[in-house]
Amino acid sequence: MIRVAWLILRKDLTVEVRSKEIVYTTLFFAVSCVLVFAFALVREGRGPEDGAAGILWIAVMFAGNLALGRTFERERQSETLRALLLAPASRPAVYVGKLLGILVLLFGAELLLVPLVALLFQARLLSHPFWLTAIMTTGTVGFAAVGTLFAAMLVRARSRDVLLPVLLYPITVPVIIAGVRGTATLLQPELDAGIIRFWFALLVTFDVVFVTLALWTFEAVMTD
Amino acid sequence: MSLSLDFDRVTVDEVSRHFGRRRAVSRVSFVAPRGSIIGLLGPNGAGKSTLLAMLATLLRPSGGSIRYGTLQAADAPPELRGRIGVLGHDLFLYPELTARENLAFFAGLYGRHDADDAARAALMRAGLADRGDDLVSSFSRGMRQRVALERALIHDPRLALLDEPFTGLDESSTRALVTRLQGLRESGAAIVLATHDLDVADGLLDEAIFLREGRMVDSLSRPEGLRAAYRRAMTGPSRS
């Protein structure tokens, strides 16, 4: 499984390095989103309390939705997803490979988004780098785990661009709430270790549940 | 328990496939023994591609069964797919990758540890050794078709499923493909191909299966004069 997942990840990254299509569109969209909120909400250099956490996660969600759609659109154009499913590997390995590719793209976007939001909203996002990394990583994994499954399922649906967010956002609401509340906890002057551990544990639980369910169902949903 | 995944024949037994209320394939039966080329012939919408998708394990039959040797398709482990090579109507190639990268990727995916060597040999067979480092997006349809065929065969499959393999090929490439298929048959592979190109298929096939509206209307062993037989099958009464 690891070998196949690695091959698919390496192939996705090679294609993306050549085309830069998803990186450019995702970053442009995410940065525009943050800028619009900054123009609307920041007054005299300060944004609303905890607002930075929500805006950061909105940008990640929107960028993630865009990246998921484009990644699988690419596999649809030459029906290469079928070729991946024909390989003599367990189909969950294909899922893991695609998930890792999405995660690399989203983590890359977050490397730009976090300092941008911290700067524009004068938020203390970077004051606890360990916990910020932990919350962002677990939240992104949970979001992408469900998103990768749905994007693969919808790859042949005519209204896939509309259906993906309609299905994805309601299901990932628990992840987004935990991500936003966890990130907002980091913005407080005094870090409450108990609360941040609670949100982190919740995100880890969501990740385990979502990834397990996706691995379990991927073979069945992709066969017919 | 070890399971033998080698098979000497593929048996399609009363296979049907429905999409909702639409019947794409209805009670089709034939056997593809090793060392044979079976042609699926019929107009658009006859069920050829659906049948190939079921043979490739991408679709489950709604009724009937497909057996690879003694192994039922429904019980087949993922490793069985390593014995099957598929050239689809879409070519299953990444246009942003070079021909060499495409072939090496799929060789690796099919578990070949010598993926780079396999890609090099496949490029030679495709007659594209000097274009191996060019992006597939820069290739003509015929060149892409040749790369796609080698992609489908890069793991030396026991069963090759080819959907319109002659599309976009010029005369010399078509001749080369016919020679390649004959070589594959001699090496012991079973080949099932769907084609509209009756002139090329004439004399190449060991058995022709004529499909119309999802039904098998006729079959011929060692068919000669395919065009006349095709016309008879498509205008005559249905056999089943």
pLDDT tier at A179, thresholds 50, 70, 90? very high
Question: Which residues on adjacent β-strands are paired with residue B126?
Answer: none
Contact call for A11 and B81, based on CB within 8 A: no
Could you report the predicted ipTM of this complex, rounded to two decimals? Answer: 0.83
Q: Which residues pair with B72 in a beta bridge?
A: B67
Asked whether the beta carbons of B124 and B162 are under 8 A apart, the reply is no
Closest approach of A28 to chain B, Cα-based (Å): 22
What pTM was estimated for this model as a whole?
0.85
Nearest to A218 by CA among A98, A112, A57, A106: A98
Looking at CA atoms only, how far is residue A60 from chain B in angstroms? 27
Separation of alpha carbons A78 and A97, rounded Å = 18
Helix (H) or strand (E) holding B216: strand B215-221
Q: In what order do the strands lie in the sheet with B22-33?
A: B71-72, B63-68, B9-19, B22-33, B215-221, B207-212, B36-41, B190-194, B159-163, B84-87
Taking only the tens place, the pLDDT of each residue in B66-92 is 999 888 877 778 888 889 999 988 889
Q: Using CA atoms, how far apart are residues B64 and B13, in angstroms rounded to an integer?
A: 6
Task: Determine the residue of chain B that is closest to A20 in CA distance.
Answer: B96
Any CB–CB contact under 8 A between A15 and chain B? yes
- Condensed to tens digits (0 to 9), the pLDDT of residues B95-111 reads 999 999 999 999 999 98
Q: Is B87 on the interface with A (CB under 8 A)?
A: no
Supply the DSSP symbol for A187. Answer: T
φ/ψ (deg, to 5) at A93: -65, -35
Closest CA to A154 of A136, A167, A135, A173: A167
- What is the span of the domain harbouring residue A60? 2-223
In angstroms, the separation between the Cα of residue B134 and the nearest Cα of chain A is 13
Percentage above 70 pLDDT, chain A: 100
Which is nearest to B39 in space by CA: B187, B150, B196?
B196
Q: What is the DSSP string of A32-58?
A: HHHHHHHHHH-BTTB--TTHHHHHHHH
> What is the total count of domains within chain A?
1
pLDDT digits (tens, 9 = 90+) for B29-59: 999 999 999 999 988 888 899 999 999 988 8
Q: What value, to the nearest 5°, has the Cα angle with vertex A184 and ends A180 and A188?
A: 175
Of B88, B95, B110, the CB nearest to A88: B110
Delineate the domains of chain B, giving CATH numbers in brackets.
9-235 (3.40.50.300)
B15 contacts chain A (CB < 8 A): no
- Judging contacts by C-beta atoms under 8 Å, the chain A residues touching residue B106 are 83, 87
